[in-house]
Amino acid sequence: MTDSTPLLIALAGALIGALFLGWTFRRLGYRMEVGGLIGVVAGAVGALLFMAPLNYCMFMPEEGALYTIDGIDIAFGLVLIGIGLAIVLLPLAAFMRWRANRHIHVDASLATQQGSFRGFLMPILLLAPTLIILALFLYYPSLDTVRLSTLLSRLGARRTAFVCVDNFTSLVVDPDYIRSIGITIFISLAVVIIGLVLSLLIATMAYQPIAGARIYRTLLIWPYAVSPVVAGIIFLLLFNPAGGIINYFLKNLGLPSIGWLNDPVYAPWAVIIASIWKSMGFNILFYIAGLQNVPKDLQESASIDGANVFQRFWYVVIPLLSPITFFLVITNLTYAFFETFGTIDYLTGGGPLKSTTTLMYRVYEVGVVNNDLGKGAAQSIVLFLMVVGLTVLQFRSSERRVTYGA
């Protein structure tokens, strides 16, 4: 890093901010010069948002680093500059769009109508307990995680060392971490796709008018109340290679036993089956509620037009259930990334041969078992960003395919 690095970063951010906000102001009908002036200040602040606390370390090679790749620190620094610009500039642009779209003249009587606050002090006082709790138990630990990710820190050690982004860049050349990403994606997709398909089929059958339907539906929802650890214990009894119930029946049928928990091929599927069983009650509950809101006259009209049962289900029921399916995809994806940890820990312990070591379980191994707080914090941040990115991608790709009805 040279003495001119902060100035160059600030100038680049100011230029990007001036162009972005100037163009935004002009498109919304405001003066482009005003937007450009605001963009200069906001862009410079956004570009330095992460760089200044990190002392611009991405642009200065570390001596004695364990992992070195030409240009990777600089690339990571550019990514952080882009994130800082987005954090500052995008809310300003969104605010200006909101201001341009809202009504200029607001009826004064709306400010004093029943159910509204006349001032802003009372809402702040009512929200203060919640905001304090969130700040102490959510926002502060999150910010401290970011701080730990830049340190070489171990639990119980008296000293820590600032390593810039080495905890992040080391992940790029770690084959075990790359493999954990693939395992996580495979298990998550299997849990979401297979789980939702089975849940919809079971919910459709449970919705039919049968004797004892309430008891049957209640029993279907029960697995959701079971903790992931208990689910791991249950499926440990089922999949135990030595004396498990499933292998017992396979033996009685004359079939060879399967090493569900000690074979790298079958162990991920044991985790998938246990995770699907655990989350299926939640999915069934929502699908049954959605089926109750499907208008019967639409199905009757489709039946009159000659549609069979499968066609009515595919072209009438499934499109009307798309909002619920969209919600369940997001919740199941989050569950597959985080909540499967308890099941994996008790069922397979991340093995065999790390075939079930997901990103969440790897954070536990690195941060808790190995006491490497710095790398554990870095991996937890990467996992969080991956889930956020997948959620945003899901929102963008599904919003045009979701039917919310009239």
Nearest to 363 by CA among 350, 346, 347: 350
CA–CA separation, 176 and 187 (whole Å): 16
85, 100, 115 - which closes a domain: 100
100, 127, 149 - which closes a domain: 100
261, 356 in Cβ contact below 8 A? Answer: no
Q: Quick check: 105 pLDDT over 70? A: no
pLDDT tens digits along 65-99: 444 445 677 787 888 888 889 989 999 998 888 88
**Residue 345 and residue 231 in one domain:** yes
Where helices occur in 161-226 by DSSP H, the ranges are 166-172, 175-206, 213-221
Q: Is 204 exposed, middle or buried (0-12, 13-18, 19+ CB in 10 A)?
A: middle
Q: Is residue 163 part of a domain?
A: no
One-letter identity of residue 241: P
| Residue 190, domain CATH | 1.10.3720.10
pLDDT tens digits along 270-287: 999 999 999 898 999 899
CA–CA separation, 304 and 327 (whole Å): 32
Residue 392 Cα distances to 88, 180, 246, 314, 330, angstroms: 19, 22, 40, 27, 10
What torsion, rounded to 10 degrees, do the Cα atoms 212, 213, 215, 221 define? 160
Q: How is residue 317 annotated by DSSP?
A: I
Please provide residue 372's backbone torsions phi and psi, each rounded to the nearest 5 degrees.
-95, 90
**Residue 387 and residue 296 in one domain:** yes
**Residue 91 and residue 227 in one domain:** no
**Residue 224 and residue 330 in one domain:** yes
- Compute the average pLDDT of residues 130-141: 90
Q: Quick check: 175 pLDDT over 50? A: yes
**Residue 81 and residue 186 in one domain:** no
pLDDT tens digits along 235-269: 988 998 888 899 889 888 888 888 889 899 999 99
**Residue 72 and residue 179 in one domain:** no
CA–CA separation, 246 and 373 (whole Å): 40
**Residue 82 and residue 203 in one domain:** no
Determine which of 108-122, 134-148, 264-278 has the lowest per-residue pLDDT on average. Answer: 108-122
Which one has a higher pLDDT value, 390 or 178?
A: 178
- Predicted TM-score (pTM) of the model is 0.80
Q: How is residue 162 annotated by DSSP?
A: E
Range(s) of the domain holding residue 91: 1-100
Residues in the chain: 406
Where helices occur in 305-339 by DSSP H, the ranges are 309-312, 318-320, 322-334
Residue-level pLDDT at 397: 66
**Residue 251 and residue 352 in one domain:** yes
**Residue 249 and residue 393 in one domain:** yes
338, 348 in Cβ contact below 8 A? Answer: no
CA–CA separation, 105 and 99 (whole Å): 12
CA 379 from centroid of its chain's CA atoms: 14
Q: Is residue 113 part of a domain?
A: no
Average pLDDT, the chain: 84
353, 264 in Cβ contact below 8 A? Answer: yes
Give the per-residue SS3 of 212-240: CHHHHHHHHHHHHHCCHHHHHHHHHHHHC
**Residue 96 and residue 182 in one domain:** no
Q: Is residue 299 part of a domain?
A: yes
**Residue 87 and residue 196 in one domain:** no
Q: Is residue 406 part of a domain?
A: no
Q: Which residues pair with 154 in a beta bridge?
A: 372
Nearest to 341 by CA among 350, 333, 332: 350
Q: Is residue 77 part of a domain?
A: yes
pLDDT tens digits along 334-344: 889 888 898 89
Q: Is residue 128 part of a domain?
A: no
77, 100, 123 - which closes a domain: 100
Q: Quick check: 102 pLDDT over 80? A: no
Pairing of strands 161-162, 151-152: antiparallel
**Residue 218 and residue 302 in one domain:** yes
Q: Is residue 58 part of a domain?
A: yes
Q: Residue 246, Cβ neighbours under 10 Å: how many?
A: 17
For the chain, the domain total comes to 2
CA–CA separation, 398 and 403 (whole Å): 10
Q: Is residue 207 part of a domain?
A: yes
